[in-house]
Chain A
Amino acid sequence: EDQVTQSPEALRLQEGESSSLNCSYTVSGLRGLFWYRQDPGKGPEFLFTLYSAGEEKEKERLKATLTKKESFLHITAPKPEDSATYLCAVQEGNTGKLIFGQGTTLQVKP
């Protein structure tokens, strides 16, 4: 069964303390891996799309990487405004269906 697992479930960091979030997946044919940020009660906000192993994307303090079995979201010198839930999703097969992980809730303390 296709599955996406994110770890840790929750992460508390001090401002400036870098860390990584993990997304591991088991799908029959990966078409793309997506990272979203979600604030409480809001819709997911698109961050990155990765299509092939070895690919990397960067945006401000965030960097996403992809291997054949997992993806990492690296957060460098986070700020309190980076506090949110980060969602990983994979797209497989010939439809647009996204399979989401349960998310990692990040709290950055000043």
Chain B
Amino acid sequence: DSGVTQTPKHLITATGQRVTLRCSPRSGDLSVYWYQQSLDQGLQFLIQYYNGEERAKGNILERFSAQQFPDLHSELNLSSLELGDSALYFCASSKREILDTQYFGPGTRLTVL
């Protein structure tokens, strides 16, 4: 158990819908990261927050957005869902902003029908 929690574990929804994925970092960690893992693309970095501020962005779609709240938990919002958005979404956390080990949560499996 890494100490990072994610909810829900599974999410099944329809195209065009909007969902919210939630992540609680390890105690004391200030940095939160979101990654997407699909069969053909592997693990892809989406976005990083550090102490509530956005710090880095990967190839995150405009339909996707995220935020980190004052209690340091984070939410990833996915809207206008498409079939291709079906994937595992992982959250990771670390204490420092850079040069630090990232610990991953168990993931949320999103299925878009």
A residues with CB within 8 A of B? 31-32, 34, 36, 41-46, 49, 51, 87, 89, 91, 94-103
Interface string of B6-50 (1 = CB under 8 A from A): 000000000000000000000000010101000000111100101
Number of A-B contacts (CB under 8 A): 68
B77-103 interface (Cβ within 8 A of A): 88, 90, 94, 97-103
Given A41-B107, A89-B43, 13 further pairs, Cβ under 8 A:
A34-B101, A34-B102, A41-B109, A43-B4, A46-B2, A49-B101, A51-B99, A91-B99, A95-B98, A96-B31, A96-B100, A98-B33, A98-B45
Flag if A99 contacts B107 (CB, 8 Å): no
Q: Which residues of B contact A (CB under 8 A)?
A: 2, 4, 31, 33, 35, 42-45, 48, 50, 55-56, 58, 88, 90, 94, 97-107, 109
Determine if A103 and B42 form an interchain contact, defined as CB atoms under 8 angstroms apart: yes
Residues of B within 8 A of A87 (CB): 43
Asked if A32 meets B99 with Cβ closer than 8 Å, knowing A43-B2, A102-B42, the reply is yes
Is the beta-carbon distance between A42 and B107 smaller than 8 angstroms? yes
- Minimum CB distance partner of B103 in chain A: A46
Q: Can you show 24 pairs from A to B with CB atoms below 8 A apart?
A: A31-B98, A31-B99, A32-B99, A34-B101, A41-B107, A42-B106, A42-B107, A43-B106, A45-B2, A46-B2, A46-B101, A49-B101, A87-B43, A95-B55, A96-B50, A96-B98, A96-B102, A97-B48, A97-B58, A98-B43, A98-B45, A100-B42, A100-B43, A102-B42
